[in-house]
Amino acid sequence: MKKGQKTQKRTTTRITALLLSLLLCMLTACGGQTAQETPAAQTAEADMSLPTTDPSGAAISIPEQVNTIVALAPSINETLVALGLEEKIVGYDLQSAGLPGLPEGVPTFDTVNPDVEQLTALAPDMLLVSSLSLYDQEAPYQPLIDAGVCVVCVPTSVSIENVRSDIRFLAAALSVPEEGERVVAEMDAELERISAAVADVSDAEKKSVYFEISPAPYLYSCGSATYLHEMIELAGGKNVLSDQSGWLSVEGETVVAANPDVIFTNVNYMDAPVDEILGREGWAGVSAVANKNVYYIDNMASSLPNQNIVKAVEQMAKALYPERFGTE
């Protein structure tokens, strides 16, 4: 298979997993375990104690030494790399292939339906999964648990505070709590820098935003109670769908009626998504289209809830208020 074909296949696989994960992002349980209320943010403690509950609410028993890890979510893998733990990764999901810092030549697995037999044979010290992996089966990882593998679920974050909690949890679970605090502090410093640049934009001056995750004819976006909504607000925008909650299927007429000042898209599995929106039938009168204020936002930074959301927030802020960043 040619390199270009491999890239296209990987991109298509990523967006398929993204859309599935958005539909499932409100789930808080993995592997058929009973969902419990997500624990409060677990911060690094001086005694280096290990968490006994994962973010899904399931009881876990983490070995004192974790030398090998398989992680089945791109957002988790990016955080592991940020924590300096990439050398421990011995397998990951297909959607993570090609992410900077990950080892090459290791086994890869389907995110939604991983080969449990192969995972069991690989025998990692820890398996990290999201709410997407084998979500429709009961106790899918029991063979691994029986074999002594510590299976940990980190459901998809629903807020930026959840992102902080998940980073700290992973750092604590892998005995590098100080690195978790470093990653969170660096993320927060960047978010504060960006939001400070637009902090004095009055409510009357704030630009309204429609963020498109999936294009026509199956429009998909977000309302309030999502990390992406919070990112739009940090960038100084007003989400035109803020009166709704969660991840949303959207009618084109709804967007046209909302008449956003700016449209963002992170669609990366079609050619020229910005041009497609600018030429979309029935949208010529939308302010964002008429004024050509339609922008592509990095797909990975805006669709993976981890420390790299900073990149997407900055891209949005610069598109909304370029004069405040010297990019006019």
Q: Domain residue spans in the chain?
A: 54-159, 203-324
Residue 45: its pLDDT value, please?
42
Residue 197: its pLDDT value, please?
97
Single pTM value for the model: 0.86
Q: Which two tokens stand for residue 283?
A: 């949208």
Tokens 């934009």 correspond to what residue?
A: 201
Residue 139: its pLDDT value, please?
80
E strand or H helix at 93: strand 89-93
Please measure the distance between the N-terminal and C-terminal CA atoms of the chain and give it in whole angstroms. 42
Nearest to 129 by CA among 190, 180, 74: 74
Residue 133: its pLDDT value, please?
75
The domain defined by 54-159 folds into Rossmann fold (3.40.50)
Would you write out the chain's pLDDT as a tens digit for each of its 328 residues? Answer: 444 444 444 444 444 444 444 444 434 345 433 333 344 444 434 346 899 999 999 999 999 999 999 999 999 999 999 999 999 999 999 999 999 999 999 999 999 889 999 999 999 999 999 988 765 667 889 999 999 999 999 999 999 999 999 999 999 999 999 999 999 999 999 999 999 999 999 999 999 999 999 999 999 999 999 999 999 999 999 999 999 999 999 999 999 999 999 999 999 999 999 999 999 999 999 999 999 999 999 999 999 999 999 999 999 999 999 999 987 6
Write the single-letter amino acid at 98.
Answer: G
Residue 48: its pLDDT value, please?
62
- Contacts for 14 with CB less than 8 Å, ≥ 6 apart: 74, 95, 268, 269, 299
Residue 328: its pLDDT value, please?
66
CATH no. for 203-324? 3.40.50.1980
Q: What is the CA radius of gyration of the chain?
A: 20
Residue 24: its pLDDT value, please?
44
- Taking the alpha carbons of 116, 22, 246, 297 in that order, is the dihedral positive or negative? positive
Kindly list the distances between the CA atom of residue 272 and the CA atoms of 12, 59, 92, 221, 269, in Å, as whole numbers in the listed order.
15, 46, 30, 19, 9
- Taking the alpha carbons of 16, 115, 81, 226 in that order, is the dihedral positive or negative? positive
DSSP string, 63-84: -S----EEE--HHHHHHHHHTT
Integer Cα distance of 246 and 230 in angstroms: 12
